[in-house]
A and B are shown apart, each in its own frame.
Chain A
Amino acid sequence: MEVNFRRDPTIYDGRFANNGWLQELPKPVTKLTWDNAALIAPATAERLEVENGDIIEVTHEGRRLRVPVWITPGQAQDALTVSLGYGRTRAGRVGNATGFNGYVLRGSNSPWFGAAEVSVTGDDYPLVSTQDHWSLEGRNIVRSAALGEYTANPGFAREMEHLKLDKPISLYPPHDYSQGNQWGMAIDINTCTGCSACVIACQAENNIPVVGKDQVSRNREMHWLRVDRYYTGPIDNPDTFLQPLPCMQCENAPCEVVCPVAATVHNDEGLNDMVYNRCVGTRYCSNNCPYKVRRFNFLLYQDWNTESIKMQRNPDVTVRSRGVMEKCTYCVQRINDGRIQAKREDREIRDGEVLTACQSVCPTDSIVFGNINDANSRVAQLKSSPRSYAMLEELNTRPRTTYLAAVRNPHPSLPTHSSVGGHHTEDADQGSEPSGQH
């Protein structure tokens, strides 16, 4: 066996171990939080007869570490990856007692990889991941094609619908959104690297609380924006797709209809407004959201008392108490700021003037937000691209957040399953029921 040491994708070399945001940030590929693990290939796990969370003892150059495994499709066989920076004992209140210390194994002879022996201990450890299901299950949520297919048929993404809709299927005329600013967002799956900076930016901007490992294990993480990660193809060598998922801001929002107290309604600029002070917390809106973008304050997750945290928060955004729903607002506070500024200067809001938090930090410019009524705006142009598609379009939710399908260009001799999202693709059964925490 080979053991590899890597800087941790969220807490780096350990210097950020005491940072709650980074501890709770799901790691880009594994979606683990609050711990590291020994990443292991599915075939190797099968050979060793271990499941997620089973603790193995890794021996490298005479040094030993007990560390739980995490099955990671695409990991090289008979190779483990242990990220550094965890297992600190004097990191602080947040960072102590998290993860397993890779530095114990690592030596200056071979600081990045080396030979190792592995034995199964029979113990286990609860590892917490925010996404257990990596398969698209035959659904067209993420769409992709190989370059050749794209060149032949640029509009391939539009054809990958389960149900073709020629015209709107409502009995009622739609509301008129032809006037004024109408906000929309286009997210390019092709350029997203999964770095998750957008998630942290959103957390910083919108006063999103850290809930802790136990609550994340109960599926209660509060990130408004999440990055979903899907594998397609053979499990030992899959293609990986990353999809940031904010609120879709649907024009026919299913969440709005079912709220008994009108705590979520639609505004004139196309935003689905969340009214925290009206919300009584029936959670029907979450149930009816097909994208599951809504988050609920099951407990009082916000720190109500520490003075320094009060100074850290964004004063433009409400701090939510327990019992209310929350979700991505397209950074409505920034939109309002932009509108006020424009009014002061007696002009319209210019394209690119209002940036959502996620957009402003994305290193590859995958997230583009703007006014779709402005034909010259970047977002309007991206939405008119043939790669553009809406998620779950057949539900007639009319989402303002749309995606640009990926185009992959693998070498012809590599096995590839780049065509993703068509009807009933064969990877429906792969990785359906993991042995993870939840």
Chain B
Amino acid sequence: MANNLHRSAGVLDVPVIAPGHDFETVTETVAQIPLSKRTPLGWIFGFLIGLTLLGGLTMALGWLLLNGIGIWGNNIPVAWAFDIINFVWWIGIGHAGTLISAILLLFKQQWRMSISRFAEAMTIFAVMCAAIFPIFHTGRPWLAAYWLFPYPNTMGLWPQFRSPLIWDVFAVSTYATVSIVFWYVGLIPDFATMRDRAVSRVKQTIFGMLSLGWRGSARHWHRYEVASLILAGLSTPLVLSVHTVVSFDFAVSVLPGWHATIFPPYFVAGAIYSGFAMVLTLAIPVRAAYKLQDFITMKHIDNMAKVMLATGLMVGYGYLMEAFFAYYSGSFYERQMMIKRMFGPYGWAYWLLIFVNVGLVQLLWFRRVRANLPLLFVLSLLVNVGMWLERFVIIVTTLARDFVPASWGMYYPTRWDFITYFGTIGLFLTLFFLFIRFVPMISIFEVRTLLPQAKVDHGHAHGAAHGPTGDGQDTTPRSH
């Protein structure tokens, strides 16, 4: 669709859905992927890669359970390293899905409809990858798995609620639960579609059960729309709070470089930044492989790139403020921390991250870059590398160079650190490939609402949550 780009009033003039579709073509294009018996070769290839890395994860976690945290590079003073870096990285990535599903819904942004489902799926899988670390990074995970939760017990003991790690437990559990619920609720009508189109008895039964008997009655749709709006309205403060709570893991401590009030908004912006990068990393190949360009159009790509730019700028502001606070506060330790971060033993990581997150992201100002899919793909990968480095710099440089110089010590990762990290990428890929294969990856019923077949006259849009606004959001087919 690249040759269809032209500017009108500075807005990319590409429709949110390509012209020439009706309910049946939309349904068929998306539904036939899970229903078909054929599995594309590319899928098998990608799935096997994911599965291999997942095998590595299993091995790494098994070895960890047998031996202890000592197989990693953590030490005193750097008691947290790859484990918490990866945890924050994964949780951050998950935030884009909720933003697309929930926040863009509240803002009535139509372009969210075709990407919301797989962005939500990405969120759920990212949270699952993240959740491995709070359990397994502990010295005794078989106890941490349940002692961190409030439950009545013979010891009369409860979690220590002032600890940010307990706040994490509540926030991440809530986030995982609400994300899964929101995602599943969104799938119910599409599972009904699959049930009604499935040919094999097995698929009919499974989709039948998953759809709960959905029949699309007006009364049910009404409740559904109300529930969706409520869930979106709840997910918005939730997603803002989750990475805020994660940032509290650092901000609540006394350490220079961690104890900063900029952390909550800085982390949330960073999370959305890395999340949208991951959505782009997934969307660009998937839309090409499954020929979904009519639904995930260049408008979507353009908008996602713009969100990345905006949040990248916020993150850059965060870096600037950190440096400024260090100077302006007059705090001796804060200034020393900043100098060590920039010019100490890990200074290379700091400048690399500035180059990617502040430097490279400026490329997104240019429409030609935003429309160049291979370049955008590479950029999205680099952004996630940059965001990983950001957590590395925050965690490791502060711990390695804190108050008492006699305690300063370097951190070096071991092979198990890397295998575990890439293993979680394998888990993510495995789940994501399973999702693409067996679940309709685009929200079929929502995309239908963009078509003329779904229009109802006199003014008010149908559906409080879905459907076009009256101000000419582009949905009618154009002849380009």
Residue of B whose beta carbon sits closest to that of A282: B138
CA–CA, A202 to B148, complex, Å? 32
Closest to A293 in B: B407
Are A323 and B139 in touch, CB under 8 angstroms? yes
A379 interfacial contact with B, CB 8 Å = no
Q: Nearest residue in A to B77 (C-beta to C-beta)?
A: A292
* Given A260-B165, A286-B76, A287-B255: A139 and B403 interface contact (C-beta under 8 Å): yes
CB of A246 to closest CB in B, whole Å: 13
Min C-beta distance of A187 to chain B, whole Å: 14
Given contacts A261-B148, A438-B410, contact A281 B69 (CB under 8 A): yes
Q: Name 15 extra pairs, CB < 8 A, besides A261-B147, A291-B404, A397-B254.
A: A136-B405, A137-B336, A138-B336, A139-B404, A219-B75, A261-B159, A280-B139, A280-B144, A284-B80, A287-B79, A291-B403, A296-B79, A322-B140, A323-B139, A423-B332
Q: Given that A138-B336, A287-B399, A299-B70 are known contacts, is A294 also in contact with B76, CB under 8 Å in the complex? A: yes
Contacts of A132 in B (CB 8 A): 408-409
Question: Which chain B residues lie closer than 8 Å to A230 at the CB level?
Answer: 405-406
**Contact status of A290 and B75, CB under 8 A, knowing A258-B165, A322-B139, A323-B139:** no
Query: Is the beta-carbon distance between A258 and B253 smaller than 8 angstroms?
Result: yes
B285 within 8 A of A: no
**Would A278 and B157 count as touching, CB distance under 8 A?**
yes
Task: Type the 1/0 row for A130-142, where 1 means its CB is closer than 8 Å to any CB of B.
Answer: 0111111111010
Contacts of B141 in A (CB 8 A): 280
For residue B17, give the distance in angstroms from its CB to the closest CB of chain A. 48
B68 at the interface (CB under 8 A from A): yes
Chain B residues near A298 (CB, 8 Å)? 68-70, 74-75, 139
User: Known: A215-B70, A295-B76. Is A438-B409 also a contact (CB below 8 A)?
Assistant: yes
Task: Render B143-159 as a binary contact track against A, CB cut-off 8 A, 1 for contact.
Answer: 11001100000000111
Bound Cα distance from A438 to B169, whole angstroms: 34
A292, B159: Cβ atoms closer than 8 Å? no
* Cβ contact within 8 Å between B160 and A259: yes
Query: What B residues does A279 contact at CB under 8 A?
Result: 139-140
Check A287 against B80 for contact (C-beta < 8 Å): yes
Report if B163 contacts A (CB, 8 A): yes
Q: How far is the CB of A421 from chain B (nearest CB, A)?
A: 12
Docked pose: A146 CA to B157 CA in angstroms: 53
Q: How distant is the Cα of A138 from the Cα of B336 in the complex, in angstroms? A: 10
Residue-by-residue, is B400-428 near A (CB-CB < 8 Å gives 1, otherwise 0)? 00111111111000000000000000000
Contacts A133-B406, A254-B254, A261-B159 given; indicate if A323 touches B69 (C-beta within 8 A). yes
How distant is the Cα of A262 from the Cα of B307 in the complex, in angstroms?
41
In the complex, per-residue mask of B165-180: 1 if CB is within 8 Å of any chain A CB, else 0: 1100100000000000
What 1/0 flags go to A97-134 for Cβ under 8 Å of B?
00000000000000000000000000000000001111
B345 at interface, CB cutoff 8 A: yes
Majority secondary structure, A binding face: loop
A194 → B minimal CB distance (Å): 13
Which chain A residues border B345 with CB–CB below 8 Å?
Answer: 433
Give bound CA distance, A296 to B74, whole Å. 10
A: residues with CB less than 8 A from B are 131-139, 141, 162-163, 215, 218-220, 226, 228-230, 243, 245, 254, 257-262, 278-284, 286-288, 290-292, 294-300, 322-325, 391-392, 395, 397, 423-424, 433, 438
Partner of B253, one of A134, A220, A287, A391: A287
Q: Which B residues are CB-close (under 8 A) to A215?
A: 70
CB distance from B251 to the nearest CB of A (A): 12
Once the chains bind, are B140 and A135 in contact (CB under 8 Å)? no
Whether A286 touches B166, Cβ cut-off 8 Å, given contacts A229-B406, A230-B406, is no
Give the complex CA separation of A418 and B238 in angstroms. Answer: 56
A423 to B332: give the CA distance in the assembly, Å.
Answer: 9
Q: Is B117 an interface residue, CB under 8 A from the partner?
A: no
CB contacts (< 8 Å) of B252 on chain A: these are 257-258
A297–B139 touching, CB < 8 Å:
yes
How near does chain B come to A325, taking the closest CB pair, in angstroms? 8
Decide: A260 and B403 in contact? CB cutoff 8 A.
no
Q: List 27 A-B contacts (CB under 8 A).
A: A133-B405, A133-B408, A215-B70, A219-B78, A219-B409, A258-B164, A260-B148, A260-B163, A262-B159, A279-B139, A280-B143, A280-B144, A280-B148, A281-B69, A281-B140, A281-B144, A284-B80, A284-B163, A287-B77, A287-B255, A290-B402, A292-B402, A292-B404, A296-B139, A322-B68, A323-B68, A424-B332
Q: Taking A280-B143, A323-B139 as contacts, is the C-beta distance between A257 and B332 under 8 angstroms?
A: no
For residue A282, which residues in chain B have a CB less than 8 angstroms away from its CB?
Answer: 137-139, 144, 165
Q: Chain B, 246-257, contact with A by CB distance < 8 Å: what is the 0/1 string?
A: 000100111100
CA distance A278 to B77 in the complex (A): 22
Complex CA gap A347/B455 in Å reads: 90
**Among candidates B160, B165, B404, residue contacting A228 with C-beta atoms closer than 8 Å:** B404
A423, B157: Cα distance in complex, Å: 46
Closest to A261 in B: B147
Given contacts A280-B139, A284-B165, A438-B410, contact A220 B157 (CB under 8 A): no
Chain B positions within 8 Å of A423 at CB level: 332
Pair A283/B80 contact, Cβ less than 8 Å: yes
Q: Are the CB atoms of B75 and A299 closer together than 8 Å?
A: no
CB contact under 8 A between A395 and B254, given known A282-B165, A291-B403: yes
In the A-B complex, the 10 residue pairs with the closest CB atoms:
A281-B139, A323-B139, A298-B70, A228-B406, A299-B70, A219-B75, A292-B407, A283-B79, A260-B165, A262-B160
Is B39 located at the chain interface by the 8 A CB criterion? Answer: no
Find the B residue at minimum CB distance from A137.
B405
CA distance A136 to B76 in the complex (A): 19
**Which of chain A's residues have a CB closer than 8 A to the CB of B148?**
260-261, 280
B7 at the interface (CB under 8 A from A): no
Contacts of B386 in A (CB 8 A): none
Q: Are B68 and A139 in contact (CB under 8 A)?
A: no
| Binary contact readout B65-90 vs A (1 if CB under 8 angstroms, 0 otherwise) | 00111100111111110000000000
> Given that A287-B80, A288-B253 are contacting pairs, would A138 and B408 also be in contact in the complex, using a CB cutoff of 8 Å?
no
With A254-B254, A296-B79, A298-B69 as known contacts, state yes or no: A280 contacts B157, CB within 8 Å. no
CA distance A133 to B73 in the complex (A): 20
Output the least CB separation between A367 and chain B (Å): 18
Q: Are B138 and A296 in contact (CB under 8 A)?
A: no
Residue of B nearest to A220 (CB): B75
Separation of A219 and B402 alpha carbons in the complex (Å): 15
Q: Quick one: closest A residue to B145, CB to CB? A: A280
B162 at the interface (CB under 8 A from A): yes
CA distance A424 to B74 in the complex (A): 31
CB distance from B283 to the nearest CB of A (A): 36
Q: Considering the chains assembled together, what is the distance between the CA atoms of A280 and B169 in angstroms?
A: 14
- In the bound assembly, the distance between CA atoms of A260 and B344 in angstroms comes to 32
* Chain A: CB-nearest residue to B253: A288
A138 with B332: CB separation less than 8 A: yes
Q: Are A288 and B67 in touch, CB under 8 angstroms?
A: no
Nearest residue (CB) in B for A300 is B68
* A284 contact set on B, CB distance < 8 A: 80, 163-165, 249
Q: Decide yes or no: A288 and B255 within 8 Å by CB, A280-B148, A322-B68 being known contacts.
A: yes
CB pair A260–B409 under 8 Å, yes or no, is no
Nearest A residue to B169 via CB reads: A260
A199 to chain B, nearest CB (A): 14
Q: A282-B137, A292-B402 are in contact. Are A258 and B76 (CB under 8 A)?
A: no
List of A residues within 8 angstroms of B336 by Cβ: 137-138
Q: Which residue of B lies closest to A265 (CB)?
A: B160
Q: In whole angstroms, what is the CA distance A219 to B411 when docked?
A: 9
In the complex, how many angstroms separate the beta carbon of A363 from the nearest chain B beta carbon?
22
Question: Which B residues lie within 8 Å of A228 (CB)?
Answer: 404, 406
A290 and B139 in contact (CB under 8 A), knowing A220-B76, A281-B69, A438-B410?
no
Min CB–CB distance B411 → chain A (angstroms): 8
Alpha-carbon distance between A254 and B163 when the two chains are bound, in angstroms: 10
Instruction: Report the bound CA distance from A139 to B340 in whole Å.
Output: 14
Q: Which residues of B contact A229 (CB under 8 A)?
A: 406
Q: How far is the CA of A433 from the CA of B148 in the complex (A)?
A: 40
A260 touches B404 (CB 8 A): no
User: In the assembled complex, which residues on chain A have CB atoms less than 8 Å from the CB atom of B70?
Assistant: 215, 220, 298-299, 322
